[in-house]
Amino acid sequence: MPSRVSRRRLIFGAGSVAIGAGIASQLKVTQASGFLARPSGDYVDSHVHVWPKLTEKYPLDSKFTPADVDPEAFTPEEIIRLGQKEDVQRVVLIQMSFFGFDNSYMLDCISRWPKVFRGVAIIDHDAPEVAAKMIDLKRRGVRGFRLYANAKNVATWDSSPGIDAMFKTAAETQQAICMLSDPEVLPTIERMATKYPNTRIVIDHFSRIGMRGEVDQRDLERLCKLSRFDKLYVKTSAFYALGQKKEPYKDLLPMIKQLRDAFSANRLMWGSDCPYQVQGPHSYASSFALIATHADFLDENEKKAILGKTADKVFFQD
């Protein structure tokens, strides 16, 4: 999530049935691996980006050059393998910014692993036929749309027919509007949630509170205030990029507890933000463990909600 360029992310979802059979059978994991012997956690990683090694089939958006692509690839197979170790069975893929409005690589991944992945796409809301595109993408496994909610972008939202169409259509199709937001735009999100009360809104990465180090308590209170909108969700994700940015990330626990108190676990969802969570000293296991192991103020049901049930409801149920 931190990057000098714009970041992109995906959401994924998978069929609600045959979860245990999802990743395991699709990868033909054998009993010998030990995977099938473990109880199914049915966990969901609500935030992962995938991309292939550069190929003509999936060209980069014109805003990017090959030097921007780092790591050089992060494949569906890699996130499936990482997830298996934690019983993460399904993943929400977030459209990678490298590809601009061309969601085809993500869609191809969903089509190949339909029980494992759902997607959050990026579309051009200023282009024609916004509603028709959203409906078509739903058929192809897209359950949300990403907006870069920074101060410059949100300044145009009130006068944008495309944004209006997105929020209205999303309410009808039960797709989520997923915001990569800065804390400064929380008042705008509050306004949008008021204007479109039937639209699911998902705020990524704690609205990036703590990205500059300290968690700003006023920002956090502003985020907690949004809990009065019952269709608004928060991703507790991208731990590597927030607060002290250091495993085991326990400095983020008070923020998570305050959000649980405001929203309840049923409106929080864990996400790794891979591949960024697995760069340098950071690991997938440590991200999962912050909720699964270290957040001792959560009971078992709350952990299950944050680690899977909430994202299942928002991204995998139709």
Binding site for Zn ion (CB under 5 A): 1, 7, 9, 273
Question: CB 261 → Zn ion: shortest distance, Å?
Answer: 26
Question: CB 97 → Zn ion: shortest distance, Å?
Answer: 9
- With respect to Zn ion, which residue has the nearer C-beta, 45 or 273? 273
Asked whether 144 and 175 are in contact (CB, 8 A), the reply is yes
Question: Residue 36 carries which side chain, given as an amino acid letter?
Answer: L
- With respect to Zn ion, which residue has the nearer C-beta, 9 or 260? 9
Question: CB 8 → Zn ion: shortest distance, Å?
Answer: 6
Q: How far apart are CA 166 and CA 272, in angstroms?
A: 26
Question: CB 178 → Zn ion: shortest distance, Å?
Answer: 10
Residue whose beta carbon is closest to Zn ion: 9
Write the CA distances from 95 to 42, 57, 126, 270, 299, integer angstroms. Answer: 23, 16, 18, 18, 33
C-alpha angle with apex 92: 91 to 97, nearest 5 degrees? 130
- With respect to Zn ion, which residue has the nearer C-beta, 9 or 200? 9
Residue with tokens 């697995």: 278
- With respect to Zn ion, which residue has the nearer C-beta, 208 or 267? 208
Output the six-digit token pair for 9: 């992310």
Q: How far apart are CA 284 and CA 83, in angstroms?
A: 8
C-alpha angle with apex 259: 203 to 231, nearest 5 degrees? 45
- With respect to Zn ion, which residue has the nearer C-beta, 273 or 302? 273
Question: CB 71 → Zn ion: shortest distance, Å?
Answer: 13
Question: CB 167 → Zn ion: shortest distance, Å?
Answer: 22
- With respect to Zn ion, which residue has the nearer C-beta, 9 or 245? 9
- With respect to Zn ion, which residue has the nearer C-beta, 22 or 271? 271
Question: CB 245 → Zn ion: shortest distance, Å?
Answer: 15
Q: How far apart are CA 109 and CA 105, in angstroms?
A: 6
C-alpha angle with apex 46: 272 to 304, nearest 5 degrees? 95
Asked whether 9 and 86 are in contact (CB, 8 A), the reply is no
Report DSSP state, residue 74.
B
